[in-house]
Amino acid sequence: MSHPIVTAWDGVYDRYTRTETGERLYANLRNYCKEGLRKVDWVVNGYECYHRTVSSLINGLIGAGFMIEECQEAHLSDEMRAQYPALFGGTIHRTEFIFFRCKKSN
């Protein structure tokens, strides 16, 4: 699923704070603790996603009777970031996805 760091961006300000030359310094978050629908311009105008905090995601899985066996965050290699800096240069500052491997509790 989309990582909460990604969905915390609400589109009000630029996604990244940049240097004068345009290099991405860090990803901007806004209203991380405010959960719910977010509409941003990403791939298409008015893209809708729901933002949840990490604790809400984990507690939701636990509440649904799942045992979390593993959690991973996606990351790209330095080679991919170097080859496609316009697309992936900022991914060093935030991960795109979070993965949970779960097992249903008895």
- pLDDT on residue 84: 87
CB 8 within 8 A of CB 40: no
Q: What is the pLDDT of residues 8-38, one digit of tens each?
A: 887 888 888 999 988 888 888 888 999 999 9
Residues 3-14 pLDDT 10s: 998 888 878 888
Domain hosting residue 82, numbered range: 4-104
User: Does 86 score more than 80 pLDDT?
Assistant: no
Q: What's the pLDDT score for residue 11?
A: 80
Q: How confident is the model at residue 85 (pLDDT cuts 50, 70, 90)?
A: confident
> For residue 54, what pLDDT band results from cuts at 50, 70 and 90?
very high
Rounded to whole angstroms, the Cα distance separating 13 from 28 reads 8
CATH number, residue 19: 3.40.50.150
Domain count, the chain: 1
pLDDT single digits (tens) 65-76:
999 999 999 888
3-12 exposure pattern, b = at least 16 Cβ within 10 A, e = fewer: bbbbbbbbee
